[in-house]
Amino acid sequence: MKTIKKAVLAYSGGLDTSIILKWLQDQYNCEVVTFTADIGQGEEVEPAREKAKKLGVSEIFVEDLREEFVRDYVFPMFRANALYEGEYLLGTSIARPLIAKHLVRIADQTGADAISHGATGKGNDQVRFELNAYALNPQIHVIAPWREWDLNSRERLVGYAREHGIPVETRKDGGADYSMDANMLHISYEGGELENPWNRPDPEMWRWAVSPEDAPDTPEEIELGFEAGDAVSLNGKTLSAAQMLASLNTIGAKHGVGRIDLVENRFVGMKNRGCYETPGGTILIKAHRAIESITLDREVAHLKDDLMPRYASLIYNGYWFAPERQMLQGMIDDSQKPVNGLVRVKLYKGNVDVTGRRSDSDSLFDESMVTFEDDHGAYHQADAEGFIKLNALRLRIAGRKGRLQ
């Protein structure tokens, strides 16, 4: 085992990371620096400071990263309309490079020779944390407790906690705890009854969006203003990136928007079932595609759609700081220069419906071309014949040669 004098731990103040903190002290006999980030997880982060103090930590970092998270990570991802496997808005995935960046920064700042995280050896998060950390500091040493210790069950974890005086909170209904992750973009749920993909999620599990059946009977329309592909105003009011996402979360959750239940293919090789709530993101991606629909050139839009699954996989698998993601991001960001204007959406019982889109400065929509009334010569319909025959030529040749059945 490598000698470690000081390690920086991504610390939430919860049971698992409190156990890791104590385990690092005991196993490595090292000083532990804790880093707690507020990325909009909906819980007070200051209690983590007091918990760390009680466990003997003297260097404690508690930082508000909400604006940085949305501005520099969430919004760039949404410019790409990123969806993993057609459904997942990457709420957990996109937070990991931000945390890794600050772990590496604090390690350098405090003279630590290692960083540590609470991701299990079965999941994707270990990969995301570590790939991003190594990209930023190739010499950093990573301690992944779940790959080293023998506390490989909830029973053993709780036993270790009680043995070392770490408070253990249990569900009031006596059921199994969910493995949860939360930030400004989403809440995720895994484990418990969700480990059987046939089981219906417990209605009491959801914490953010109301059930669509219980959402208001009256729809609500909102207007989103976009500049260079990013949402900058809501109903005419200019908002910061974090304010925008927080506002959309509140409105979307009220109308039952953003719940999904899916089985995804993890990078480590297994399939996993998870449930997610992403109310603001669900509104944002629909509105962003709507403003792109009238401002982007057709082939630019189609090329973006072709590349999006690859881009989403890079983020899902932990390659935020990889050169290929940065290359794609440069192209995506360049495509967004004309993506300016207003989008109107209607929210109703879990649905997000676009009811209008407008760009006074960059619209490529030409009413004179598409009208069913007299277009006064704007478009010559006879021109379509040559276009069709040219594109049909290879099919006609193949047909004459008996190649098409």
User: Which residues neighbour 201 within 8 Å (Cβ) at sequence distance 6 or greater?
Assistant: 189, 193, 194, 261, 275
Selecting among 12, 79, 93, 96, the annotated active-site residue is 96
Give catalytic status of residue 207 as yes or no. Answer: no
Give catalytic status of residue 96 as yes or no. Answer: yes
Selecting among 72, 105, 179, 266, the annotated active-site residue is 179
Give catalytic status of residue 179 as yes or no. Answer: yes
Distance, in Å, from the CA atom of 355 to the CA atom of 224, rounded to the nearest integer, reads 12
Selecting among 18, 38, 79, 125, the annotated active-site residue is 125
Distance, in Å, from the CA atom of 404 to the CA atom of 351, rounded to the nearest integer, reads 43
User: Which residues neighbour 138 within 8 Å (Cβ) at sequence distance 6 or greater?
Assistant: none
Give the residue numbers marked as catalytic: 16, 96, 125, 179
